[in-house]
Copies of this chain bind each other. A is one copy, B any other.
Amino acid sequence: MFSFSEENYLKAIFHLQNSYKNGVSTNALAEEMQTKASSVTDMIKKLSEKSLVIYRKYQGVKLSEAGRAAAIEVIRKHRLWEVFLVEKLDFNWDEVHEVAEQLEHIKSEKLTAELDRFLGFPQRDPHGDPIPDSKGNFSVANRVLLSELKIGETGICVGVKDSSVEFLQYLDKNNISLGASVKVKQKEDFDQSMLIEMDGNTLMISNQISTNLYIKTP
């Protein structure tokens, strides 16, 4: 089994691999992990010795198949617990992250499997991210950023890219929630702000908002 710290590194590398296809840089990982580059180098070496990552000095790091599987397992647990907290324990979607960060490290195959069943094998977490199944498979979302829609286009809000407390609370305050229908009424070329209609309400949103909302188009 892996330590909490190892699991957190694997998870971070997994998330950063989207942006760093040719290997995640030490500094990027240090930033993500809120730690120093030297600590990252140390840990990468350990993960490399355990064959969880592929690493060449100064060349960045990638997950091996084993590392990817381990990362996905942690992400599966994280997202299942988030569903549990929201659906069963009445947490708001901006309150679940910190607790799920702890719960994701609990080691028990039976626990994960039974939790999944208890929740009804959910496909998405409260932020719209896909939940890997027990074999590590998950649907790569067929979704685009709201900012990519043209005037007149419509869709359903299906996820958030930024899941910080601040952003989620902004969304709550403006009655933007997953499942809502969206239509782009106007776009401002100057600052990319948008006038949208969401579940009937019309509101103006900045580029920072529209680049952090995922939409499923018809």
Contacts and interface: CB of A to CB of B under 8 A. Distances in A.
A16 B95 CA distance: 37
A53 to B, nearest CB: 26
Nearest to A99: B108
A89 B111 contact: yes
A99 B107 CA distance: 7
Contacts of A91: 110, 114
Contact of A111 (B99, B106, B118): B99
Interface residues of A, number: 18
Contacts of A111: 85, 89, 99
A103 interface: yes
Contacts of A115: 89
Contacts of A57: none
Interface in A98-118: 98-99, 102-103, 106-108, 110-111, 114-115, 118
Contacts of A98: 108
Contacts of A102: 106-108
A87 to B, nearest CB: 10
Interface string A165-194: 000000000000000000000000000000
Nearest to A111: B99
Contacts of A50: none
Contact of A110 (B95, B107, B110): B95
19 contacts: A85-B111, A85-B114, A88-B118, A89-B111, A89-B114, A89-B115, A89-B118, A90-B114, A91-B110, A91-B114, A95-B110, A98-B108, A99-B106, A99-B110, A99-B111, A102-B107, A102-B108, A103-B103, A103-B106
